[in-house]
Every structure is written in C-alpha cells, then in structure tokens.
C-alpha cells in the first residue's frame, strides 16, 4: 500500500515492511477460527483514537481531520467491552477491537472480526450530538463480536441468532448507561417498527423460505427478535437468563449455531423446557392482540379482569401463552400480580381491600403485543399523572386523544407536555395537543418549543405550531432558526415558518442556504420550502453557490433544488450530468433522485446514458426506478391530455345542442 496509508484487517498485525519504493507491505494474521464473510481489509489515510480495556487495545480510526469528533462516538467503547464481557461471562475474545469509519458504507456498520467497519455518518459534531447518538450502533457492532463472530448463525434462516442478539445487547447497554426509562422507550420504538412491517407481511423468525439472504435482514430479524430475547429474560428472570447466555456462549464458541443450540443451552442451564416459548415466538409468526377490561365487585372486594386474545389464529399465528404482570394501583398501595394468559378469553380475580384507581396490564411492557384497554377518562387521567411506568403514561397520553372535548383531559395533556419527567411522554403529549386549537394550547406549545431541554420535544412542538399563524409564533420560529443549538430544531422552524408566514419567509429561507448542519438538514429544509415558493432569487443564489468549493452532500442538495426550481435550465442539467459520473455512489444516487423529479426529455436521456455505464447493482436499480417514475409521470400527463380532449369534445357537443335549442326556441 502507499506509504502514507494505514491498513486494518482482522486479528493481529504481524509485520509491516517498508519496501523502499514509497509502498509498505502489511501482514495481518487472524489465528482464531471465524467465517469468511467476516474478513476485511481497509486502507486509507486515518487518524486514531487510542483507548484500551483490560489489556485489550481499543482503536477507533477516523478520516484525517475528524479526530475531534471521534471521542463523541467512541468514548464509551471500553466501558461497553467491560459491560458485555461481564454480563455474558465470556471475556471479549479477540486480540484487539478496532472500529474504522469509511465513506460510502450505507448507513450502519459491519461487524468484521475485531475490525468493525462503520459508515462516516457515525461521526458528528457537538450540535449534531443533541439529536443523534452513535452509541446504539457502536454497541450493536461490538455485541456482534460475540453473537455473529464468536458464534455464527449456521444459515441465513437463523439470522436472528446474530441480529436479534446484537440489537438486544445495544438495548441492554442503553439500560445500563441511561436507565430504565430510556430503555423502555427505545424498546417501545422497536416494537412499533416491527409492527409496521408485520402489517405488510408476517413470518416466523426462523425461516428457511427466503428468496435471497438479503430478505432476511428485516425487522423480524432485528427488533422483533430483540423483543423476543427480552421476553425470554422476563420468563426466566435475570439470574437464569444470564446463566443461559453464559452457557450458550461458552458451549458454542468458535462454532456455527442454530436455534436449537440456544434452546438446549437454556434447558441445560436452567432445567426448564422451553419448547413452548420457542415454538410460539420463534417458529411461528405474529404476536398477541390483547383486549383487556376490568370491573370492581364491591360485595366480594374483587377486581374481575377479562383478557381476550383477538388475533386471527391460523397456520402462522398461534394463541400465545405468556406470564403477564398486572398492576393494581390504589390511593394507598400499589401491587403487581403475575398471571399466565393462554386462552382466547379468560377472567382473573384479584382480592383487594378497596377499589383500585387504575389497573395496568403488563405495565413494564415486557410483552410484544398490541393492547386495547377499555378504561374511563378518570382512569386514564390517573394513569397519566401517577403511573411510574413510562409506557403506561404514553398509553394514557394517546388514549386521552379520545377525550379532547373535555377540558380536564386537555389540561392533563398540557401538564404532561410541560412537566412529565420523561421527554418522550412530553413529546407524545405535544403530538396529541397538536390536534387541538386555542390560546392555551398555543401557549403550551410555545413554551415547549422554546424551553424544553430535549430537542426532540422542541422539534415536535415547533411542528405543531404550524397550525397557529400568530405573531408570537412567528417571532419564536425566527429565534429558533438563529439561536436553537439543535440543527434539527432550526430546520423544523424553517419548515413551520413557511407555513405560518408564507408572505415573508423567503428572506429567512434564503439566509439559511449558507448554514452548515448535520446531514444538511437545514439546507434541505430551506431548499424544499423555496421550491414550493418557486423563488427565482433563490435559484440565482444557488447557482452562485455552486461555483464555490462545496462538500459533495451540499452540492447534491443544491443541484437537486436547482433541478426542481428550473427544470428546463440547460446549465443546471449540465451540472447534474457532471455529478452523475461522480465517483461517490451516494452522490450519484442523490442526482438520480433529483433527475427523477425533473420532467424534461434530457433528464431521461441522462439517466439512460448513465445506466449503460453504471456497475453497481443497487445504483442500476435506482436508475430503473427513476426512469419508471418519469414514465409514470409521462403516462399521467398523456392520460390528462386524453381527458382534456374528451372534455373538449363533450363541451363542443353541448354548445351545439344549446345552439340548436336556442334556434328552436326562437322559432
Ligand atoms: Zn447487526
């Protein structure tokens, strides 16, 4: 390799020889067993952040000039090595742990043995850090060093043994590092993301009927499987869960594994047969859809709880058997009881000294499920104010959307939006409040937009203010654009400003064209709104900007905007043509996306010309999609022309008839 390059590969660096001709020969050696898809060689000009844990070097490589950003993303890596080693009970197994950030590497990373490769987006500046963190990704790839690398799934059909473990261990790190609330919220997000995919298709987690390995890398393998492991922890309890993980990892290290190996390891470690669990959660698909209802019997002092599983049971989806926690909360005491739910419909009785003010099914959200709980407004109000469980409060917030006609419900939501201890509850309350109007809502949203400590809440409040065209709102939005430390809040403020001050926002939008930001979110927001305004002055400014040296990402946004603003401008298309041959794939991809929006015969010609040269299969696919989109627009247009012709004909016929009738009338 050229002398100035650093070369990273798996295992240990055995030797490095200066060849005296401006090149160096590097010899890396991986002595321990691993599988071929984990081999990697990366070469380039890098700087390194050097850390260590218990004698193991922890090295993070970033492109030259980015060392200042390395700490933000990799500072916690040694603590993660320690945490995983301790929890699994198997020490980090490789001679070093290196992470290396490279361009053109999708969005995520790849767990090459002891030499993880990460996308450059893993790095961000201090302001970007307010809205993004790389800890989840870093923990995920590190967890793979055990689950994926030390133990590797035997077939892509067993992919969850890699990906669900890595996803779950990232959550475990979050729990350790940031606490239960953050963890509960992130697991809730995982469940929601899986449920979206489940609406499109349902499969068992272990699945040998895939058309291509790539199809297995879906939300069933990542978040759903992670939630299944979380339920396994619930069923076994912490102690036996970790005993099982230790056994599974120890027995199978340096081997390929299938799900039966995991089940057997658990059975050996705990003495518990778990076929019933694996059968429903891993070898079948879906999840329980619970409907829960309760009533108080004053005479017998009993809560009668009715649980129904309403999912359609078929070959793929079973009735589920699960232990479930029931929280019975009263003014004086709160108890949690555990029952086993296994039937389509069941009733449980709980004796209490007095009527509870709320009854929560699975309050800690252990179970992957949908839940319909029929409760009174009063119970939801109790839940939003008093539940110690984040997901219970989120459920209360969402359910109070059905009671927005009631002032007490709106007041509770306003309080939650401002004062709930956890930011995601405040954010969800803002979302529901956005459906209401009036001075009090406006005032709550303004407070959240200006003063919430969490940028995610400010962003949501700023978005909600789009329904409030008011001077105070416009003033706040302009202040946000200039002063908010979050790039994303500033970008959201620009979008909202375009809604509530259409007449005057162009000046603000044009001024934002010069602001750098994480993933160019500010520039993109300004450009989108300027396109909607068809702003000629912006087009001139952007054309001027293009003459300066720009980062590829910035160039792409600007050129794409020009394409939308001036689709028939030959100079703009010249620029796009040049960028279409850029050596960076993500630049080419963005240009293809921009051309797909420009309905001009030349844009199609450019795409076709690039298609014949393009080598990357995904890039070719993107060009085909763009051409299809343009063809679709064409056929939309010809459809419209046909309809217009038809209407003209009908109109002519009507006029003729009217003339005839008039003539007839005069006679
Ligand atoms: Zn992974």
Cα–ligand 1 centroid distance for 222 (angstroms):
8
pLDDT score for 666? 63
Gap from CA of 143 to ligand 1 centroid (Å): 9
Phi-psi category of residue 195: left, alpha or beta, with phi > 0 → left and psi -120 to 50 → alpha: alpha
Ion ligand 1, residues whose Cβ is below 5 A away: 163, 166
Give phi and psi for 14, each to the nearest 5: -85, -45
DSSP state at residue 366: -
Q: What is the mean pLDDT of residues 384-412?
A: 97
Ligand 1 centroid, distance to 144 Cα (angstroms):
7
532: CA distance to ligand 1 center in Å? 39
Q: How far is the CA of 599 from the centre of ligand 1 (A)?
A: 39
* Better-scored residue on pLDDT, 406 or 629: 406
What's the gap in Å between 166 CA and the centre of ligand 1?
Answer: 6
Q: Is the pLDDT of residue 591 over 90?
A: no
Span from the CA of 562 to the centroid of ligand 1 (angstroms): 38
Q: Which is more confidently placed, 666 or 623?
A: 623
Distance 277 CA to ligand 1 centre (A): 24
Helix, strand, coil % (nearest 5) of the chain?
55, 15, 30
* Reported confidence tier of residue 278, pLDDT bands at 50, 70, 90: very high
Examine the pLDDT at 203 and tell me if it is beyond 60: yes
Distance 106 CA to ligand 1 centre (A): 13
Q: Is the pLDDT of residue 100 over 90?
A: yes
Quote the ligand 1 centre to 326 CA distance (angstroms).
Answer: 34
The answer to which of 103-117, 327-341, 371-385, 542-556 has the lowest mean pLDDT is 542-556
Residues of the chain with pLDDT > 90, as a percent, come to 80
End-to-end distance of the chain based on CA atoms, in angstroms?
Answer: 100
Nearest residue to 361 (alpha-carbon basis) of 403, 402, 306: 306
Distance 442 CA to ligand 1 centre (A): 43
Mean pLDDT of 359-385: 97
CA of 172 to the centre of ligand 1 (A): 15
Check whether 663 has a pLDDT greater than 90: no
Distance 140 CA to ligand 1 centre (A): 6
Give the pTM.
Answer: 0.89
More confident residue, 164 or 649: 164
**What's the rounded Cα separation, in Å, for the pair 226 and 162?**
10
Say how many Å lie between the CA of residue 616 and the centre of ligand 1.
23
Residue 134 banded pLDDT, cuts 50, 70, 90: very high
What integer is the mean pLDDT of 182-191? Answer: 97
Q: Measured between alpha carbons, how far is 490 from 113 in angstroms, rounded to an integer?
A: 40
pLDDT at 617: 83
Is it the case that residue 642 has pLDDT exceeding 80? yes
Please tell me the distance between residue 216's alpha carbon and the centre of ligand 1 in angstroms: 12
User: What is the spatial distance between Cα 546 and Cα 554, in angstroms, rounded to a whole number?
Assistant: 9
Using CA of residue 559, residue 560, residue 562, residue 566, what is the dihedral sign?
positive
- What separation in angstroms does the CA of 170 have from each of 209, 226, 605? 28, 10, 46
What band does 96 get if pLDDT is binned at 50, 70 and 90?
very high
In the block, tokens 């009527």 appear at 355
Residue-level pLDDT at 582 = 84
Distance from residue 230's CA to the centre of ligand 1 (Å): 17
Whole-number Å distance, alpha carbon 182 to ligand 1 midpoint, is 21
CA of 141 from ligand 1 middle (Å) equals: 6
* CA 174 – ligand 1 centroid, Å: 16
534-564 burial: b if 16+ Cβ within 10 Å, else e: ebeebbebbbebbeeeeeebbbbbbbbbbbb
Quickly state the pLDDT bin for 450 (edges 50, 70, 90).
very high
pLDDT of residue 30: 97
Whole-angstrom CA distances from 608 to 88, 591, 601, 617 are: 53, 13, 11, 15
Q: How far is the CA of 202 from the centre of ligand 1 (A)?
A: 21
pLDDT for 667 equals: 57
Q: Which residues fall within 8 angstroms of residue 269, CB to CB, at 6 or more apart? A: 240, 243, 244, 246, 247, 248
pLDDT at residue 128 tops 60: yes
Gap from CA of 377 to ligand 1 centroid (Å): 43
Give the start-end residues of each E strand in 365-486. 370-373
* Ligand 1 centroid to residue 147 C-alpha, Å: 9
Q: Which CA distances in Å does 12 have to 28, 30, 609?
A: 6, 6, 46
Those residues with Cβ within 8 angstroms of residue 357's Cβ, 6 or more apart along the chain or in another chain: 329, 330, 331, 379, 382, 386
Q: Work out the mean pLDDT of the chain and round it to a whole number.
A: 94
């Amino acid at each position: 390799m050229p002398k100035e390059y650093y070369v990273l590969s798996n295992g240990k660096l055995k030797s490095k020889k200066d060849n005296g001709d401006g090149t160096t020969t590097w010899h890396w050696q991986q002595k321990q067993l691993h599988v071929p898809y984990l081999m990697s060689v990366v070469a380039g000009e890098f700087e390194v952040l050097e850390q260590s844990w218990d004698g193991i070097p922890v090295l993070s490589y970033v492109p030259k000039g980015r060392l200042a950003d390395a700490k933000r993303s990799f500072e916690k890596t040694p603590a993660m090595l320690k945490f995983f080693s301790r929890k699994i009970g198997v020490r980090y197994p490789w001679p070093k742990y290196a992470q290396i950030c490279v361009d053109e590497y999708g969005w995520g990373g790849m767990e090459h043995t002891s030499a993880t490769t990460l996308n450059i987006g893993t790095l961000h500046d201090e302001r970007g850090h307010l809205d993004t963190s790389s800890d989840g990704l870093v923990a995920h790839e590190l967890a793979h060093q055990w689950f994926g690398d030390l133990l590797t799934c035997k077939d892509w059909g067993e992919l969850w043994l890699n990906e669900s473990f890595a996803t779950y261990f990232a959550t475990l790190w979050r729990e350790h590092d940031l606490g239960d609330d953050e963890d509960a919220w992130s697991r809730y997000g995982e469940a929601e993301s899986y449920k979206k995919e489940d609406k499109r298709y349902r499969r068992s987690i272990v699945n040998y009927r895939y058309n291509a390995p790539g199809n297995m890398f879906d939300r069933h393998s990542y978040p759903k499987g992670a939630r299944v492991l979380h339920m396994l922890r619930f069923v076994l309890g912490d102690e036996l869960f970790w005993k099982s993980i230790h056994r599974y990892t120890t027995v199978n290290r340096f081997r390929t594994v299938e799900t039966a190996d995991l089940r057997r390891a658990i059975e050996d470690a705990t003495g518990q047969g778990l076929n019933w669990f694996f059968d429903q959660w891993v070898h079948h698909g879906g999840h329980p859809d619970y409907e829960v209802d309760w009533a108080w019997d004053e005479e017998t002092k009993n809560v009668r709880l009715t649980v129904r599983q309403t999912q359609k049971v078929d070959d793929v989806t079973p009735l589920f058997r699960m232990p479930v926690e029931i929280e019975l909360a009263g003014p004086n005491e709160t108890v949690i009881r555990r029952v086993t739910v296994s039937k389509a419909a069941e009733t449980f009785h709980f004796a209490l000294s007095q009527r509870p003010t709320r009854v929560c099914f699975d309050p800690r959200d252990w179970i992957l499920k949908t839940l319909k709980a029929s409760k009174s407004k009063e119970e939801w109000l109790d839940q939003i104010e008093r539940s110690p469980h984040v997901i219970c409060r989120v459920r209360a917030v969402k359910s109070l959307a059905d009671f927005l006609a009631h002032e007490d419900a709106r007041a509770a939501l306003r309080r939650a939006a401002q004062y709930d201890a956890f930011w995601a509850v405040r954010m969800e309350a803002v979302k529901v409040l956005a459906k209401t109007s009036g001075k009090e809502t406006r005032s709550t949203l303004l407070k959240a937009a200006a003063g919430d400590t969490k940028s995610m809440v400010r962003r949501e409040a700023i978005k909600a203010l789009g329904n409030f065209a008011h001077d105070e709102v416009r003033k706040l939005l302009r202040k946000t654009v200039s002063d908010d430390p979050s790039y994303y809040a500033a970008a959201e403020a620009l979008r909202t400003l375009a809604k509530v001050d259409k007449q005057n926002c162009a000046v603000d939008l044009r001024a934002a064209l010069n602001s750098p930001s994480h993933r160019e979110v500010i520039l993109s927001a300004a450009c989108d709104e300027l396109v909607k305004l068809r702003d000629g002055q912006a087009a001139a400014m952007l054309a001027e900007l293009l003459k300066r040296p720009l980062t590829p990402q910035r160039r792409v946004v600007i050129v794409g905007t020009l394409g939308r603003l001036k689709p028939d401008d030959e100079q703009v298309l010249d620029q796009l043509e040049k960028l279409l041959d850029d050596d960076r794939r993500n630049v080419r991809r963005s240009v293809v996306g921009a051309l797909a929006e420009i309905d001009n015969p030349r844009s199609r010609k450019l795409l076709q010309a690039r298609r014949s040269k393009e080598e990357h299969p995904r890039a070719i696919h993107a060009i085909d999609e763009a051409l299809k989109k343009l063809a679709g627009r064409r056929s939309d247009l010809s459809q419209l022309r046909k309809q217009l012709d038809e209407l003209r004909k009908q109109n002519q016929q009507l006029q003729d008839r009217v003339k005839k009738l008039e003539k007839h009338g005069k006679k």
